[in-house]
Structure 1
Amino acid sequence: MKILTCPVNGPRNITEFVWGGEVKAMPDAAASDDAWTGYLFLETNLAGEIDEWWLHAPTNTWFIARRNTVTDTVLETMTVDAYFARRSGSAT
C-alpha cells in the first residue's frame, strides 16, 4: 500500500488522492487559444523533481507535493499557502 502525506490530514492511502497536474503559471486572460490549450491540457513531463497539485478527495483539500518523477518518490508536501509564501520569499 502506498501512503501519501496530506499536510492537513496526515498520512493516508494513495487511493484517497487525485493528481491535479503540474504547478505552472497561468497565462494572461487575453492570451491566445494556443497558450490556453497548452496551459490546460499539456504537461512538461520532466524527468526529475517537479511540483504538483494534489487533492485529498474525502476532505476536498488541495495541496502541493514535490515529487521525483523518475523514482516516484514524494519528497515533500505542503499547504498551498506555504508553497506560495515560499515561492514569494516571505517564508523562512
Structure 2
Amino acid sequence: MLLITCPWCGPRNETEYHYGGQAHVPHPESPADLTDEQWAEYVFYRDNPKGPFAERWMHSIGCRRWFNVLRDTATHEVLTSYRPDEPRPGGNR
C-alpha cells in the first residue's frame, strides 16, 4: 500500500487515487499537423525509467484534483507530491 499526500487534502491511502500516467508530457502545439506516427508517439510512448519518475494522480475520492507525484519506480517509495502549477522537484523527467 502506498501513502500518497494530496497537496490539498493531505496524506491518504492509494485506494483514494486514480493513476494518470507520466507527468509533464507537453500537448502538441498543432495536433492536426502531426503524422499518424507522431500522434501515436505522443499518445502511446512514455518513459519507463528505473528510479525517480514524475507521475500524474487524481484524488478521486477526495477533492478530485489532479497533482503530480515523484515516485521511485524501483522501490515504489513516494518521494514527494506537488501541484501541477509547480515545477518538478529535482529536475526534469
**TM-score between both structures, scaled by the size of structure 1:** 0.80
Aligned residues: 86
Structure 1 residue 33 and structure 2 residue 36: aligned? yes
Alignment partner of 1:60 out of 58, 61, 64: 64
Cα distance in 2 for partners of 1:2, 1:73 equals 8
Q: How many Å apart are 1:75 and its aligned residue?
A: 0.6
Q: How many Å apart are 1:26 and its aligned residue?
A: 2.5
Q: Which has the higher helix share?
A: 1
- CA-based RMSD of the aligned residues comes to 2.0
Cα distance in 2 for partners of 1:38, 1:19 equals 20
Q: How many Å apart are 1:25 and its aligned residue?
A: 2.5
Instruction: Give aligned-pair identity as a percent.
Output: 35
Q: Which has the higher contact order (CA 8 A, sep 6+)?
A: 2
**TM-score between both structures, scaled by the size of structure 2:** 0.79
Structure 1: gaps spanning 5 or more residues: 88-92
Q: How many Å apart are 1:48 and its aligned residue?
A: 1.2
Q: How many Å apart are 1:56 and its aligned residue?
A: 0.5
Alignment partner of 2:52 out of 39, 49, 52: 49
Q: Which has the higher strand share?
A: 1
Q: Which residue of 2 aligns with 1:83?
A: 87
Structure 1 residue 72 and structure 2 residue 73: aligned? no
Cα distance in 2 for partners of 1:2, 1:50 equals 15
Please identify, of 56-65 and 33-42, the stretch whose mean Cα deviation from structure 2 is larger. Answer: 33-42
> Structure 2 counterpart of 1:16, which letter?
E
> Structure 1 counterpart of 2:64, which letter?
N
Q: How many Å apart are 1:7 and its aligned residue?
A: 0.7
